[in-house]
Amino acid sequence: MEPTNEKQKAWKECIDILNKKDLIVLETGRIRNPNWKNSDGNSTDYLTSIDCVSKLYSIDNDSENFSGFKSSEEYCKKTLSNSQIEKIIFINGYSVDSIKNLEDNFFDVVLLDSVNDSEIIFQEFINVIPKLKLNSLVIIDDVTNPGIKGDKVISFLNTNNIPFTKKTANPADCIYFFVDWKMIELIKKNLN
């Protein structure tokens, strides 16, 4: 599926650079509102429509009220195609804790996009590092006003001279960086 907005174009650009097939992807935060489809990324819908994505682990605490739906999981199951739903492993819970229970060395792509809280996103980032495969990709969404998600991660990356790319992708941009073992070790070392 071709991207329909700037966020999706930024994510697709990153995934194309990664140049892998059968990607196992983790997202924190799930489809929230069908009206956001063209103004925001709508990651659950978009990522499951990409051919090279084989599995999407989708973590959400379902804390928001869905008009006519009990949860974001129910919303997905009623609005996405069967082929998309077959790719999704729904994990309902608090992202920071849920990530800890996932397998190490497992994910090719991670999209951190749960809440506009730089501390929670940083905790997700800390917990996801051991879960990454060699040559993986981390994307943090909504990193500029009104989004503040990436502030603490960006500060950490800058302080430790870890390269990342900031991508203009309205609304609120995103950052991404590719992770190899050297970077994982550097990140782990500086987190201690």
Q: Within a domain: residue 1?
A: no
Domains of the chain: total: 1
Q: Within a domain: residue 176?
A: yes
**Residue 172 CA neighbour count, 13 Å, CB half:** 17
pLDDT 10s digits, 39-61: 555 889 999 999 999 999 999 98
Q: Domain residues for 157?
A: 6-191
pLDDT of 68:
72
pLDDT 10s digits, 101-121: 999 999 999 999 888 889 999
Query: Side chain identity at 16, as an amino acid letter?
Result: D
Q: Within a domain: residue 78?
A: yes
Percent of the chain with pLDDT over 90: 41
CATH of the domain at 68: 3.40.50.150
Q: Cα–Cα distance between 84 and 163 in angstroms, integer?
A: 33
pLDDT of 22:
97
pLDDT 10s digits, 12-33: 988 998 899 999 999 998 876 6
Q: Cα–Cα distance between 74 and 71 in angstroms, integer?
A: 5
